[in-house]
């Protein structure tokens, strides 16, 4: 008889290198608090895979001996974890009020036009994913956008956005 669990999601196999990276994060905490490394482990998975799949969440849960749902809650709570595959460059445009009042929505619309994708979409060449996000804590520099969860692009105007996109395309040989 086929088990009813045969379709269930299974934990991704972790490479030795990944386990070693996890272990370095876990070592920063007392043994009974190794679950505190969950964000760091999810970040490692995302660096290596580009996103955090359900299979990866299960692997992290197993490694840290914590409930899979608790890991999933972390993945879904923080905007920086990609729950689907994304382009090489993830563009998060802030659309909260202070940014909106200074052209955040126009910037988003301009990027969507330039890239030929809808908000939430990824370009066919896999280079760009366009998303909106909540306040990035840089309202004084509005409107702002975060590139790959790391690099802030402040005071966006159309020229600045064109330069950024064209520069990244050129760097990837896709100008």
Cβ-based nearer residue to ligand FES, 74 or 156: 156
Cβ-based nearer residue to ligand FES, 12 or 99: 99
- The set of residues, in sequence order, having a beta carbon less than 8 Å from that of 50 and lying 6+ positions away, is 82, 85, 86
Least gap, CB of 100 to ligand FES (angstroms): 8
Give, as one character, the DSSP assignment of residue 81.
S
Give the number of other Cβ atoms within 10 Å of residue 23's Cβ: 13
Least gap, CB of 129 to ligand FES (angstroms): 19
Q: Compute the half-sphere exposure of residue 77: CA atoms within 13 Å on the CB side of its CA.
A: 9
Least gap, CB of 143 to ligand FES (angstroms): 7
User: Would you give the distance in Å from CA 3 to the centre of its chain?
Assistant: 35
Note whether 108 and 121 are within 8 A (CB). no
Positions in the binding site for ligand FES (CB under 6 A): 94, 96, 98-99, 135-136, 138-139, 142, 144
Least gap, CB of 110 to ligand FES (angstroms): 16
Cβ-based nearer residue to ligand FES, 12 or 142: 142
């Amino acid at each position: 008889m086929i088990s009813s669990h045969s379709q269930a999601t299974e934990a991704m196999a972790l490479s030795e290198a990944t386990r070693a990276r996890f272990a370095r994060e876990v070592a920063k905490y007392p043994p009974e608090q190794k679950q505190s490394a969950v964000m760091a482990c999810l970040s490692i998975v995302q660096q290596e895979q580009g996103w955090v799949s359900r299979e990866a969440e299960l692997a992290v849960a197993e490694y840290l001996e914590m409930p899979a749902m608790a890991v999933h809650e972390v993945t879904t709570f923080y905007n920086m974890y990609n729950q689907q595959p994304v382009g090489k460059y993830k563009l998060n445009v802030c659309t909260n009020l202070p940014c909106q009042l200074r052209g955040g929505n126009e910037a988003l619309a301009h990027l969507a036009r330039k890239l030929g994708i809808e908000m939430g979409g990824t370009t066919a060449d896999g280079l760009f994913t366009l998303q909106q996000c909540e306040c990035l804590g840089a309202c004084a520099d509005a409107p702002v956008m975060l590139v790959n969860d790391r690099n802030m692009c402040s005071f966006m105007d159309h020229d600045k956005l064109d330069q950024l996109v064209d520069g990244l395309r050129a760097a990837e040989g896709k100008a």
